[in-house]
Amino acid sequence: MSTPSGIFRGTRALFAAARSATPIPKANISPSSKKPAGTAAASSKSAKSSKGKKNLPSGIMRTIPVSAALQSVVGAPEISRVDAVKKIWEYIKLHNLQNPSDKREIFCDAKLKKLFNGKDKVGFLEIAKLLSPHFVKTD
């Protein structure tokens, strides 16, 4: 014996389409229930004031001055943390510094050894942590 849910399985989409096709009677709206004209003007003023402010990037998206060692790899005096990690990965891929048998491991050449405290091998999760001291504190 089948259950009621088994009988109507798959018909939910059909019922939804039929429900949206039926017209919904509009309720009579009295003039007293309409919004006063002053609220629209107030909302447009708040929209204008928010447009005047420029949303500057913050956190890891903010550009920060970098050390000379990091600057030699990324090629910019100021860069965001996200872009710095991207540039490091571009450098790693360009110079084929990933371990072929374990892609999570990176072999360091002379430039990367300066960045990564003289280590010969670095794990890919360590990159962001090891780059942190190369961002100059401006606060």
Domain boundaries, the chain: 60-133
pLDDT recorded at residue 136: 84
Phi-psi map region of 3: left, alpha, beta (phi>0 left; psi -120 to 50 alpha) = beta
Phi-psi map region of 59: left, alpha, beta (phi>0 left; psi -120 to 50 alpha) = left
CATH of domain 60-133: 1.10.245.10
Please report which confidence band the pLDDT of residue 18 belongs to, taking 50, 70 and 90 as the band edges.
low
Who wins on pLDDT, 9 or 78? Answer: 78
Q: How far is Cα 132 from Cα 85, in angstroms, rounded to an integer?
A: 10
Q: Residue 126: pLDDT above 60? A: yes
**pTM of full prediction above 0.75:** no
Q: What is the mean pLDDT of residues 79-102?
A: 94
pLDDT recorded at residue 36: 56
How many residues would you count in the chain? Answer: 139
